[in-house]
A and B are shown apart, each in its own frame.
Chain A
């Protein structure tokens, strides 16, 4: 949160710094654009009162929509990672600043044909500033996997939070949702009801579900009441059944509470004397980078990581040495070997394992800080074996920036490992070729077995690979081409927040 507070709360200070930066560069805008500070907080509809992010009055002053657009252009020209690739467009052609912002990004595509920038969006600042107890969200505690958002839609349970309403109702991984409040999930036209039921926005909502449990022949009706559910970021840490020297750990979120949870899990695994470890991050979309660094340290140990960079953040070429927002010198993010006070007191040495490699289970939800774990370890030549499907491909970061009540997200940094590698915009590919290819196996997500069950396809493939160095027959062998590796697995996105719900299902 400090990071965001610095960004949102010191924009004026940052703007002042940018004046100096731009002045020293002889002008930073395209087509004669003035520095962003000239246009910052000049708002068509200025806010009044206290900014919750800073505790100070809003900086807004009366301005125009044109001022807001000019600010966007100047800000983009200064900080956007690919500022040279932003097209020159007429701002007047766009009715709102947000519409204009939407085109202020690179139009290039990756090697796989995806847009190079898939992470460019806005958020109402008042909503973005909302806070929660770490890991607490309104919901049922059922992590849905949306295998198909359009008809015929398909939604199954990916995992369940312990102690949640979903757990109390007996829901488990693999349970298929057939209907929500009487609306057929596969082909129903009332998507509003589907979204409202699956993704409650507050606690205390009750919705009826027709559920087909995994392996069941007959469906059942379940009424779920939403609550403020606490996420457990680390679950099921321990030896794999039937494989006492192989450890397994489900790691779902780089939350603040994960610091303590990982500390405890690694301690337990160390005590158990495991010789190999499978870290299941298939649903882990990231979070605190320091947690990723701590995990990497606990996996690789001090000998491998001492004095090495876990990740370096690289801005565009206008800012090679200094973070343009904080004004601080750019220094590598280290492998962190102690607690830092997220959920444990600061300064306690972290436990670590004496492994020679780690197996990581992945899917399209494996994103950002989770990918940093893979990249950071590979940067110090610690062997990573990847099993599952291609990760999301987000080696990027940004400072969310408020202006006039809208928070803008524009890629500003690329995370690179100790070898300077960060070009995995298409994701890490198990068994793939090229720099983002990782030794391992392409295996589709298996909702027919519990996570941590040695029969579950990804875990089974990892354990098999440990013994034989080969992938199961049904999966893709090591060395397959990138294109083949991108063949869609069964894994669907597993949205964890209600925010996107009204866009989740389509008619």
Chain B
């Protein structure tokens, strides 16, 4: 028998939290923050959180993502046609934006568009002002 939906969700959330981020576990509030001592693990956690927020599409991040700024802007990966020109070139929309917050000792990634919050396990953060 499968666990009840709420229990399954909690278990799944706990598993996700252990691996990367979980929107339901993220504490409220926080101050703008940046990533401290980024490494492979923290980059992977950040990438997974962004993927989860955006429906699972793969996302390429810079090695120093959120290291010097507390805002992350995510776009479609640039594509070119076979002549080398930008596939679109005239875009009308807006990119996705995320803010990194530090609340207590937890790094939280917030999707601006929806307010969804993703706790980042294994990522060390510091307030933006302190870093500077």
Contacts and interface: CB of A to CB of B under 8 A. Distances in A.
Interface string B75-95: 111111111111111111111
B94 A341 contact: yes
B90 A372 contact: yes
B73 A343 contact: yes
Contacts of A105: none
B89 A287 contact: yes
Contact of A365 (B65, B85, B96): B85
B59 interface: yes
Contacts of A342: 73, 94-95
A132 B55 contact: no
A121 interface: yes
Interface string B3-27: 0000000000000000000000000
B84 A397 contact: no
A304 B98 CA distance: 36
Contacts of A50: 55-56
Interface string B57-75: 1111111110000011111
Contact of A256 (B80, B82, B89, B95): B95
A132 B75 contact: yes
A118 B89 CA distance: 14
B61 A289 contact: no
Nearest to A230: B62
Contacts, number: 183
Nearest to B92: A3
Nearest to B64: A230
A28 interface: no
Interface string B38-65: 0000000000001000111111111111
A240 interface: no
B97 interface: yes
A127 B60 CA distance: 12
Contact of B86 (A133, A367, A398): A367
> Which A-B residue pairs are the 3 nearest by beta carbons?
A368-B89, A286-B89, A3-B93
Interface stretch (A71-79, A295-303, A434-442, A492-500): A492-500
Given A341-B97, A367-B85, A497 B78 contact: yes
B86 A52 contact: no
Interface of B: 50, 54-65, 71-97
| Interface size bracket, A side | 35 or more
A394 B89 contact: yes
A153 to B, nearest CB: 14
Contact of B96 (A1, A368, A369): A1
A355 to B, nearest CB: 25
Given A50-B55, A415-B90, A121 B81 contact: yes
A26 B85 CA distance: 38
A286 B74 contact: no
A134 B60 CA distance: 9
Nearest to A313: B92
B55 to A, nearest CB: 4
A465 interface: no
B91 A130 contact: no
Contacts of B56: 50, 52, 55
Contacts of A397: 88-90, 92
A129 interface: yes
Contacts of A138: 60
Interface centre among B75, B82, B89 (most CB of A within 10 A): B89
A369 B57 contact: no
Contacts of A398: 88
A396 B90 contact: yes
Interface string A391-410: 01010111010000000010
Interface in A250-279: 254-257
Given A1-B94, A342-B73, A367-B85, A55 B65 contact: no
A51 interface: yes
Contacts of B87: 121, 123, 400, 409
Contacts of A255: 75
Given A55-B55, A256-B73, A286 B78 contact: no
A146 B57 CA distance: 31
Nearest to B83: A493
8 contacts: A121-B87, A130-B60, A131-B50, A133-B75, A134-B75, A228-B60, A493-B85, A497-B78
Contacts of B80: 285, 495-497, 499-500
Nearest to B73: A134
B63 to A, nearest CB: 6
Contacts of B76: 1, 4, 128-132
Contacts of B50: 131
Contacts of A421: none
Contact of B79 (A123, A134, A367): A123
Contacts of A409: 87
A287 B91 contact: yes
A4 to B, nearest CB: 6
Contacts of B65: 133
Nearest to B75: A134
Contacts of A55: 54-56
A2 B79 contact: no
A397 B93 CA distance: 12
B79 A52 contact: no
B89 A131 contact: no
A50 B81 CA distance: 27
